[in-house]
Amino acid sequence: MSDTPNVVTGDLEAPTTEAPAEAESTSSETADRKREVHDMWVAGTEEPAWMRSYTDEGAQEILAAEDESAPELTRGTVVEDDFIFDDVADDDELQILNMGPQHPSTHGVLRLHLELDGETIRRVKPIIGYLHTGMEKTAETLTYMQGSTNVTRMDYLSPMHMELAFSLAVESLLGVEIPERGQAIRVLLTELNRVSSHLVWCATQGTDLGAVSMLIFGLRDREYILQFFEKVTGLRMNHNFIRPGGVAADLPDGWEEDIEAILQKVPQGVSEYEELFNGNPIFRDRTMGVGVITPEECKALGVSGPIARASGINWDLRKAFPYSGIDKYDFDVPVGKHGDVWDRYLVRMEEIKQSLGIVKQVLETIPGGDYRTTDRKVTPPPRKRIDESMEALIHHFKLFTSGFKVPAGESYAAVESPRGELGMYVVSDGREKPWRLHARTPSFNHVQALPTMMTDSLVADIVATIASADPVLGDVDR
């Protein structure tokens, strides 16, 4: 790992309190896989000394990778698909439980069909489509100019990434180059969006595990970013700001101060969360070793983003296929080891910090110049020209009513959204509306991978696992 530059921040196991750190090292060293129970206690509430013997109680920690029996014991059954299995012989003992689609913890209208053997989940079938909006069909009726209005509503927690992926796909067909300032604005907004999306994840993960105050905290810090977005784009969500050809407008006056305020406030909040989570015995117990997915399963199921990275796949589209000049900025890709909920938490927390680092670099290095391409085929003439020239007015009118034509062809462009690989596949027949627009959305794969993460775990782990997969149902159903 050490010979690959700019990639890995090292081991992510970095709790703030000392006692759990000892527990980690103990767990990987002792062969009998026991843990000291007093490590789980908050300072001041320790058990008497005689109770500090090794016990299995609450031991859900990850086992060392050298231990050969580890995968079977901790990672559940390796399941390729929930319904490929033959029916279990003693069907009578299984209980069918329906969860959703209206349920507080399911991050939207996800429905799970569970087969329980007592407390243990034997099979899971996610049932989706309760938010199917027909956006891919609607996209065929909208011009490329209007297209980002549509796609931004798919993944409503990271609208900027949806717009960026769509714009990149269209631009690759058009063959236009975006000026450096436009690219920097895109990077700035998408990375801020990654932070705000991860903050919502933080809020919902905490809520689902019973820490309702996390909802208040997470959304509090997200609000600072949304206020900046509102100032820049005019809307708190669903911005329609990144468009084919650049961005809709330049950054407003005084944006530097706003970013500096965000860079000051959000890390404060993040360190507060880490204080709340890292040493919290309940949170550690409910996340460690829960919802495990292996790298091989990630690849076969198309799982990407923080979940894949938490399982040890060193892969980030920002490094592999850089877009919008993001390779100019210095950042690290956090990689986990165990692929459980706890590692996903660590990866996401580190990603927030890295993204804020990118934002800081953009603030320091943003170049001047145009924020959108000067190609008049896709960019409307400047306001001043419209006042002067009739042709410019007609051009402006035509561009916004009938749109611009895109050469025939097909293109796939992907960006690293907060959830993973977000791709847009655009097929153009040479007219001003796409012939076909397909969105490859990360949550779709992650919902598909839920049975793999959940099978043979306990009912109480369902919400923790769903929350850590961070599915956005608008992203799943489109």
Q: Which of residues 136-165 bind other proteins (CB under 8 A)?
A: 136-138, 140-141, 149-150, 153, 156-157
Q: Is the dihedral of CA 77, 82, 88, 90 positive or negative?
A: positive
| DSSP secondary structure letter of residue 66 | T
Q: Which is nearer to other proteins, 41 or 130 (CB)?
A: 130
The span from the CA of 306 to the CA of 336, in Å, is 9
| 3-class DSSP assignment, residue 241 | coil
Core vs surface per residue 130-161: b (16+ CB within 10 A) or e: ebeeebbebbeebbbbbbbbbbbbbbbbbbbb
Asked whether position 375 contacts other proteins by CB under 8 A, the answer is no
- The window from 3-11, 89-97, 258-266, 273-281 that contacts other proteins (CB under 8 A) reads 3-11
| 3-class DSSP assignment, residue 182 | helix
- What binding mask, one character per residue, do residues 230-249 give for other proteins by CB under 8 A, x or -? ------xxx-----------
- Count of beta carbons in the 10 Å neighbourhood of residue 129: 12
Asked whether position 263 contacts other proteins by CB under 8 A, the answer is no
Asked whether position 222 contacts other proteins by CB under 8 A, the answer is yes
Tell me if 248 sits within 8 A of 200, measured CB to CB: no
Of residues 36, 285, 410, 432, which one binds other proteins by CB under 8 A? 410
Tell me if 436 sits within 8 A of 427, measured CB to CB: yes
- The window from 43-51, 132-140, 348-356, 459-467 that contacts other proteins (CB under 8 A) reads 132-140
Asked whether position 302 contacts other proteins by CB under 8 A, the answer is yes
Q: Where are the beta strands (DSSP E) in 48-204?
A: 54-55, 95-99, 111-117, 120-127
Least distance from C-beta 226 to other proteins, angstroms? Answer: 8
Q: Distance from first CA to last CA of the chain, Å, rounded?
A: 38
Asked whether position 325 contacts other proteins by CB under 8 A, the answer is no
Asked whether position 65 contacts other proteins by CB under 8 A, the answer is yes
Q: Which is nearer to other proteins, 302 or 381 (CB)?
A: 302
* Residues facing residue 440 across a β-bridge: 423
Please give the C-alpha separations between residue 423 and each of 94, 184, 344, 420, in angstroms, as whole numbers. Answer: 39, 21, 22, 10
Least distance from C-beta 428 to other proteins, angstroms? Answer: 11
Least distance from C-beta 44 to other proteins, angstroms? Answer: 29
- What binding mask, one character per residue, do residues 200-219 give for other proteins by CB under 8 A, x or -? x--x-----------xxx-x
Of residues 343, 421, 461, 470, which one binds other proteins by CB under 8 A? 421
Q: Which is nearer to other proteins, 233 or 448 (CB)?
A: 448
Asked whether position 343 contacts other proteins by CB under 8 A, the answer is no
Q: Which residues contact 6 (CB under 8 A, 6 or more apart)?
A: 319, 330, 331, 332, 333
Asked whether position 458 contacts other proteins by CB under 8 A, the answer is no
Asked whether position 135 contacts other proteins by CB under 8 A, the answer is yes
Tell me if 440 sits within 8 A of 424, measured CB to CB: yes
Q: Which is nearer to other proteins, 279 or 434 (CB)?
A: 434
- The window from 177-185, 241-249, 307-315, 388-396 that contacts other proteins (CB under 8 A) reads 307-315
Of residues 56, 73, 220, 271, which one binds other proteins by CB under 8 A? 220
Least distance from C-beta 37 to other proteins, angstroms? Answer: 27
Q: Which amino acid is at 171?
A: E
Asked whether position 436 contacts other proteins by CB under 8 A, the answer is yes
Q: How many residues bind other proteins (CB under 8 A)?
A: 88
Give the tokens for residue 221.
Answer: 């810090």
Least distance from C-beta 235 to other proteins, angstroms? Answer: 8
Of residues 14, 116, 226, 276, which one binds other proteins by CB under 8 A? 226
Q: Is the dihedral of CA 156, 358, 310, 41 positive or negative?
A: negative
- The window from 17-25, 250-258, 271-279, 440-448 that contacts other proteins (CB under 8 A) reads 440-448
Angle CA(298)–CA(198)–CA(255) in degrees, nearest 5? 135
Asked whether position 69 contacts other proteins by CB under 8 A, the answer is no
Q: Which is nearer to other proteins, 121 or 301 (CB)?
A: 301
Asked whether position 77 contacts other proteins by CB under 8 A, the answer is no
Asked whether position 17 contacts other proteins by CB under 8 A, the answer is no
- The window from 46-54, 103-111, 341-349, 387-395 that contacts other proteins (CB under 8 A) reads 103-111
| 3-class DSSP assignment, residue 318 | helix
- By CB neighbour count within 10 A (0-12 exposed, 13-18 middle, 19+ buried), where does 12 fall? buried
The span from the CA of 352 to the CA of 341, in Å, is 17
The span from the CA of 240 to the CA of 247, in Å, is 9
